């Protein structure tokens, strides 16, 4: 049995030899840190073999092993080291090949995860790259949609500004040149000028509100209010328009139903929905506003008799400047009311949607009961 002191001595010298080899290997790996994984794995394999051989040499001399036995032990150690080196090189080549496949997939126009099996780390990287590419593609699609919406908005606003401005100019020139001189006509021109100015002011106000929403500058002053009061104000504000079109309008919300919202902003969103419903409902039609609590949230619905929205247009109803065609003929405003309503509802952590129902459409606003 080896004495304990000799055993400690053997461990010391073997460890010292291994540390020298490890230090040299680490220094070499630092120099080669920018090289291929295969090269670094070859260095690791060589360091392992050298550390083992150096330890065996130290032990064999300390234990006074004869030359024959020492040669046998070293041959076995070197053979095993060579096998380990070959395996390391093959593993490195496999990693390099897998990395090359992943790089080629990244360089493609559209990233697709490689079909070839990858090591776990590279496979995880591939999944993350796919998710990142999906997010980039979605962001690009949103950017294109916003750009198309911006161009559409500019076109609509330019059209809607040009028409009243042309009328204002014609009436102003007629009054200035004295072409119109009789009292009733002059008063009618003045009244029409006031109407057009109010329309332009409303359009500018809508554009300003929409710009605040898109810029994230909409600041809410929340307070606890009754939803029935908000709906009643929206109905009262639209009664004149409904009466002029011959549309029946009604509201049904349980009194005292509480919501924690900005009363002014949410009231504007509800008015936009109600006015939109009235504009697209024919005479003798009806617009109904209802409110209820369901699933821990408040739901407000505005149902009209517009005749329905084409299924292809439903996803675009809340887009900026979208007015639609067919049953929903354009009328008034710059097509910003529903976009503003969506922005205000989403600022309240709520959701807004639309679906065809019965003789028309059903707009639904969902808000947290007490957010």
Does one domain contain both 156 and 286?
no
Query: Which of 107, 135, 158 is a domain's end point?
Result: 107
Does one domain contain both 204 and 227?
no
Sign of CA dihedral 45, 47, 51, 54: positive
The CATH number given to whatever domain includes residue 172 is 1.10.287.130
Radius of gyration of the chain (CA): 39
Q: Which residue has the tokens 């392992």?
A: 48
Show the DSSP H helices in the chain as ranges. Answer: 4-31, 37-62, 67-107, 120-177, 183-214, 227-245, 263-279, 337-347
Query: Which of 215, 235, 261 is a domain's end point?
Result: 215
Does one domain contain both 204 and 231?
no
Encoded tokens for 222: 């929340």
Does one domain contain both 96 and 162?
no
Does one domain contain both 240 and 349?
yes
- Total structural domains in the chain? 3
Establish if 113 belongs to a structural domain. no
Establish if 142 belongs to a structural domain. no
Q: Which residue has the tokens 């929206």?
A: 234
pTM over 0.75: no
The CATH number given to whatever domain includes residue 234 is 3.30.565.10
Q: Per-residue confidence of the chain (371 residues) as pLDDT tens digits? A: 556 676 677 677 777 777 887 888 788 878 877 777 767 777 777 777 777 777 777 777 666 567 777 777 778 777 777 777 777 777 777 777 887 888 888 887 777 888 777 777 778 888 888 888 888 888 888 888 778 777 777 777 777 778 788 888 888 888 888 888 788 888 888 888 888 888 888 888 888 888 888 777 788 888 888 888 888 888 888 888 898 889 999 888 876 678 888 888 999 999 999 998 998 898 888 999 988 887 778 889 999 988 888 888 888 888 776 666 543 333 444 468 888 899 999 988 899 999 998 888 999 999 887 64
Give the separation between CA 97 and CA 329, rounded to whole angstroms. Answer: 61
Give the separation between CA 97 and CA 91, rounded to whole angstroms. Answer: 10
Does one domain contain both 189 and 246?
no
Does one domain contain both 337 and 229?
yes
Strands 248-253 and 258-261: unpaired
Does one domain contain both 227 and 355?
yes
Does one domain contain both 36 and 53?
yes
Does one domain contain both 11 and 62?
yes
What own/partner pairs with CB < 8 Å and gap ≥ 24 does 206-213 have? 206/333, 206/334, 206/336, 206/337, 206/340, 207/157, 207/334, 207/336, 209/268, 209/336, 209/340, 210/320, 210/336, 210/339, 210/340, 210/343, 213/340, 213/343, 213/344, 213/347
């Amino acid at each position: 049995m080896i004495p304990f002191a000799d055993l400690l001595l053997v461990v010391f010298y073997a460890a010292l030899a291994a540390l020298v080899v490890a230090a040299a290997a680490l220094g070499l790996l630092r120099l080669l840190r920018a090289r291929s994984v295969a090269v670094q794995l070859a260095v690791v394999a060589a360091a392992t073999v050298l550390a083992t051989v150096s330890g065996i040499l130290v032990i064999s001399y300390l234990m006074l092993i004869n030359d024959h036995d020492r040669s046998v032990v070293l041959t076995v150690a070197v053979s095993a080291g060579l096998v380990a080196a070959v395996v390391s090189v093959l593993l490195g080549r496999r990693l390099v090949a897998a990395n090359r496949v992943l790089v080629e997939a990244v360089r493609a126009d559209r990233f697709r995860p490689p079909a070839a099996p990858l090591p776990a780390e590279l496979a995880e990287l591939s999944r993350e790259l796919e998710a990142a590419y999906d997010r980039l593609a979605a962001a690009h699609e949103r950017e294109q949609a916003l750009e198309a919406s911006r161009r559409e908005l500019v076109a609509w606003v330019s059209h809607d500004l040009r028409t009243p401005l042309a009328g204002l100019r014609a009436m102003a020139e007629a009054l200035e040149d004295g072409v119109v001189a009789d009292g009733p006509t002059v008063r009618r021109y003045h009244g029409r000028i006031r109407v057009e100015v109010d329309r332009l002011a409303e359009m500018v106000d809508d554009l300003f509100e929409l710009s605040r929403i898109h810029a994230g500058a909409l600041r809410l002053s929340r307070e606890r209010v009754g939803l029935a009061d908000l709906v009643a104000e929206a109905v009262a504000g639209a009664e004149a328009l409904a009466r002029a079109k011959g549309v029946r309008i009604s509201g049904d919300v349980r009194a005292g139903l509480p919501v924690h919202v900005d009363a002014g902003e949410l009231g504007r969103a509800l008015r936009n929905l109600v006015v939109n419903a009235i504009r697209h409902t024919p005479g003798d039609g009806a617009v109904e506003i209802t409110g209820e609590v369901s699933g821990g949230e408040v739901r407000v619905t505005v149902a009209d008799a517009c005749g329905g929205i084409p299924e292809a247009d439903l996803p675009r109803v809340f887009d900026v400047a979208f007015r639609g065609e067919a049953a929903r003929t354009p009328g008034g405003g710059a097509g910003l009311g529903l976009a503003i309503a969506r922005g205000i509802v989403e600022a309240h952590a709520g959701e807004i949607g639309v679906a065809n129902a019965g003789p028309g459409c059903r707009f639904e606003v969902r808000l947290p009961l007490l957010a």
